[in-house]
Structure 1
Amino acid sequence: MSRTPEQPTLTPRLCFNQTQLRDFLRISRTAVDDTISQNLNALQTPGAKPFDPSSTAERQPRPIGSRRAIDPVACDHFKEKVLFPSWQMRSDVLNYCAGVATSPDPDDPDQVLRESEDARARERLVDERLDPYSARYFPREARTESLASLIRNERMVEQIIRARTWGLVGERCENEGIEAEKALDEWRRRKAQSWNPLS
């Protein structure tokens, strides 16, 4: 079974280094979600049923789902120890970086450059009769705006990946017909109760 990567230290530097942020999300998705079929296959114990020589006497129809169901205990263990923690780790990183994207950024290295470009654009004389393109000005995007756009995209990707993964898990394990986010919320609730000594 794949090992999920360690959660990186949550700092604004991680969020603004979009390459590092994307790499963490990609590696985490690759370890669990992109290889979900292999991870589920690894839960099956080969030879759990003893070989029956009479089974070769006639052709056996393929099961309707074409995949054998997995032991419910192994499924629950996989969901509790691998799948949900991986999803939660990515949610934590995305939520933290979304907070960074909506916070003021006093350390923005391009802020002075953007302000000078904006001032120059305001001082320009625009005569669209002489130059129809003279009114064009595309302000430079702040790194918080760029980060917010990246987080929106990554959240949409996360929804798609989780739905696909949960569908494949549902084919092999019992999901009791609940959606991926509800199952994750239920896991969070159970985890919070187990950490709370007063409950």
Structure 2
Amino acid sequence: MSRTPDQPRLTPQFCFNQTALRDSLRISRGAVDDTINQNLNALVTPSSTPFDPTSTAERQPRPAGRRAIDATSCSGFKDRVLFPSWQVRSDVLSYCAGVATSPDPDDPDHVLRQVEDVRARERIVNERLDPYSGRYFPREARTESLAALLRNEMMVEKIIRSRTWSLVGERCENEDRDFEKATDAWRTRRGGSR
């Protein structure tokens, strides 16, 4: 069974380092969600029932690899591996979303953007001579860039969780059809929502 990756140390520098942020999310997804079938197969005890030679005479309703998993193993996997890994990623995305919406006094490109804005206002624009002279594309602040990345990552996260939850539902009897409700119920059982 997979081990939940550790939560990275959450700092604004971590969030602004988009490579580190993406890698952290990718590693967590790869450890649990991308390998969900292998993780679920690891929950099945292969020798729980002895081999019956007559079982080969008739077609089985489920392929052997898609055998249902007992409820105790399923709930243990969800409570100890799946939901904690989702929570770690939610914490990272929430923290970085807060960083993206906060003022950024340490932005290294702030002065450069101000200088470019002043130059753009002072330019003489003659669109008859140069139809492109009126164009000005200001640099994006790093908080805006981070916000765009987080919007994409949140959409990816929703798609991945939905897919993972449907695969878990095929093998385990999920009480909730919706992964968000199941995650909220897990948070409540743990003693608080984050």
Q: TM-score range by the shorter chain?
A: over 0.9
Indicate yes or no: 2:10 matched with 1:10: yes
The equivalences for 1:5-154 within 5 A come to 5-56=5-56, 58=57, 60-64=58-62, 67-154=66-153
CA distance in 2, matches of 1:54, 1:133: 79
CA distance in 1, matches of 2:81, 2:175: 19
- Using structure 1 for the length normalisation, give the TM-score: 0.93
Conserved 8 A contact 2:15-2:146: yes
Query: Residue type matched to 1:158 in 2?
Result: E
Conserved 8 A contact 1:110-1:142: yes
Query: Residue type matched to 1:28 in 2?
Result: S
3-state SS of 1:80 partner: helix
Indicate yes or no: 2:160 matched with 1:161: yes
| Map of 1:172 onto structure 2 | 171
Deviation at 1:78, TM superposition (A): 0.2
Deviation at 1:109, TM superposition (A): 0.5
Task: State the identity %.
Answer: 73
3-state SS of 1:13 partner: helix
1:35-58: CA deviation from partner (whole Å, max 9, x where unpaired): 0000000000011001223334x2
Query: Residue type matched to 1:7 in 2?
Result: Q
What is the aligned residue count?
192
Query: Residue type matched to 2:75 in 1?
Result: D
Deviation at 1:65, TM superposition (A): 6.7
Query: Residue type matched to 1:118 in 2?
Result: D
1:1-24: CA deviation from partner (whole Å, max 9, x where unpaired): 222211011100110000000000
- Using structure 2 for the length normalisation, give the TM-score: 0.95
Query: Residue type matched to 1:100 in 2?
Result: V
1:162-199: CA deviation from partner (whole Å, max 9, x where unpaired): 00000000000011242000100111111125xxxxxx
| Map of 1:197 onto structure 2 | none
CA distance in 1, matches of 2:131, 2:81: 58
Conserved 8 A contact 1:65-1:171: no
Deviation at 1:62, TM superposition (A): 2.9
C-alpha RMSD of matched pairs (Å): 1.4
CA distance in 2, matches of 1:177, 1:159: 16
